[in-house]
Structure 1
Amino acid sequence: MHHLDIAGLEARYGDHTVLSGIDMTVGRADVIGLIGPSGSGKSTILRVLTGLLPPVAGTVKLDGEPVNYADAAQVRRLRDRIAIVFQQYNLFQNMSVLENVCVAPVKIKKRPRKEVEEEARLLLEKVGLGDKLKRYPDELSGGQQQRVAIVRALALRPEILLLDEVTAALDPELVSEVLDTVRLLAQEGMTMLIVSHEMAFIREVASRVVFMAGGRVVEAGAPAQIFDAPAEARTRDFVSKILRH
């Protein structure tokens, strides 16, 4: 049984269909790289999965159980299992790094503060921020803030992590430190869906690459297949443009 099963998924913004007929399966410890031109629906899939944009058709199953996105309680439970990190870190400016990471598990999950703090310290250490616990977001670089945002998502103990262009807002020299964190999570077997323009990175960490255009999946396969021998003309065109730069 797949960890995540997406079938016939469709989503709209107003009258505009942004996803149509999306089929995708994700196994445990899979790292799925979502690539494609801007506006192809890559980020929209992540929004739909977390209930930020309810689908108008199709099904999403988590461990074989269909998700009812019209049921607010079910969506809340789903967000315990699927966490998302955005391009903008959205940290609470008036809270220290440690507080930013602990606030949701303590306030929303009602977990004991001591246990949450211990876990948060370990996670922050793991991403190289063990010495920044008492700092505030404005004292950190963008790369450090984004790593805090990733740890904040991990503190919720999700089964699946969705990363939406997490390096897009960063200066080039800060990109690698965030990618190192994602690489570490992949090695540890975290199930992830990653939307990114960092093609070399996607090629390296993804177990499967999904190329999207116009709200549809054009082609999906192993990284070597998609980047070296794409079957579809649309994929070939995209890959050749990207790899030339």
Structure 2
Amino acid sequence: MAHLDIRGLVARYNNATVLDGIDLSIERGEIVSLIGPSGSGKSTLLRVISGLLPPRAGTVALAGETINYADRRSLRRSRDKLAIVFQQYNLFGNMNVLRNVMVAPVTIQKRDKKTVEAEACALLAKVGLADKLNAYPDELSGGQQQRVAIARALCLKPDILLLDEVTSALDPERVGEVLDTVKMLAADNMTLLIVSHEMGFVREVSHRVAFMADGKIQEMGPPAQIFGTPQQPRTQAFVSRILGH
């Protein structure tokens, strides 16, 4: 059984079809990256999966359970299994780093505060921020804020982590530290669905890569195929332009 199974997914935004019949299946522990031009529907797909934008048609199933996006209970169950990290960190400026990571597990998931605090400290140490527990977001670099955002998502104990262009708002010298954090998650067998324009990173970390254009997955395969021997003309043109072939 697929960990995440998407069938015939359609989404519209401002009367435009943004996702046009997406089929995608991801196994437990698999890392799948979405690449493609701006406006191809990559980020929208993550927003639909996580319940931020309702689908017009199609299904999304987590470990065999279909999410009913119109049902609050079903949506809450799915959100216990999914976490999303955006390109903007969206940290609470009035809370220190430790509180930012703890707030959702304690207030939304109603978990024990002491247990969550221990987990949050461990996660912040894991992402290299053990010395920043009492710092506030405006005292951190962009890369540090993004690593806090990743730790915050992980503290929700998701089965699947969705990463939406997590390096695109960073200064170039900060990109590497966030990508190193994601590589660490990959080494831990976390199921990841990644939207990224960092092609070297995508090539290194992904089990499979999906090229999207016009709201559809035009081609999907191992990184060696997508970047080395793409089959579809649209993929060939995109890869050629990105890699300068």
TM-score normalised over the length of structure 1 = 0.99
1:12 alignment partner AA = R
Structure-1 separation of matches of 2:76 and 2:141 = 31
SS at match of 2:18: strand
TM-aligned CA deviation for residue 223 of structure 1: 0.4
TM-aligned CA deviation for residue 48 of structure 1: 0.3
2:17 alignment partner AA = T
Cα deviation 1:45-100 (Å, max 9, x = unaligned): 00000110111111111111111111112112211101000000010001000000
Aligned to 1:53: 53
Aligned length, in residue pairs: 245
1:54-93 equivalences under 5 Å are 54-93=54-93
Alignment pair present for 1:42 and 2:42: yes
Aligned to 1:122: 122
2:74 alignment partner AA = Q
Structure-2 separation of matches of 1:105 and 1:8 = 33
Structure-2 separation of matches of 1:82 and 1:103 = 17
Aligned to 1:141: 141
Structure-2 separation of matches of 1:72 and 1:54 = 12
Structure-1 separation of matches of 2:55 and 2:198 = 28
Aligned to 2:238: 238
Structure-1 separation of matches of 2:119 and 2:64 = 30
2:39 alignment partner AA = G
Structure-2 separation of matches of 1:214 and 1:14 = 16
Aligned to 1:221: 221
Aligned to 1:201: 201
Alignment pair present for 1:29 and 2:24: no
Deviates more, 1:32-41 or 1:69-78: 69-78
SS at match of 2:118: helix
Aligned to 1:182: 182
TM-aligned CA deviation for residue 138 of structure 1: 0.4
TM-score normalised over the length of structure 2 = 0.99
Structure-1 separation of matches of 2:21 and 2:214 = 11
Structure-1 separation of matches of 2:104 and 2:15 = 35
1:47 alignment partner AA = R
Computed over aligned residues only, the root mean square deviation of the Cα atoms, in angstroms, reads: 0.8
1:114 alignment partner AA = K
TM-aligned CA deviation for residue 7 of structure 1: 0.6
Structure-2 separation of matches of 1:185 and 1:49 = 20
Cα deviation 1:109-131 (Å, max 9, x = unaligned): 11111100100011000110000
Structure-1 separation of matches of 2:15 and 2:99 = 41
Structure-2 separation of matches of 1:40 and 1:157 = 30
SS at match of 1:131: helix
Structure-2 separation of matches of 1:166 and 1:66 = 27
Q: Runs of 5+ in structure 1 lacking a partner?
A: none
Structure-1 separation of matches of 2:65 and 2:148 = 32
Aligned to 1:98: 98
Aligned to 1:3: 3
SS at match of 1:192: strand
TM-aligned CA deviation for residue 14 of structure 1: 3.0
Deviates more, 1:74-83 or 1:97-106: 74-83
Structure-1 separation of matches of 2:126 and 2:41 = 32
Cα deviation 1:165-207 (Å, max 9, x = unaligned): 0000000000000000000000000000000000000000000
SS at match of 2:74: helix
- Point out 4+ residue stretches in structure 1 off by more than 6 angstroms: none
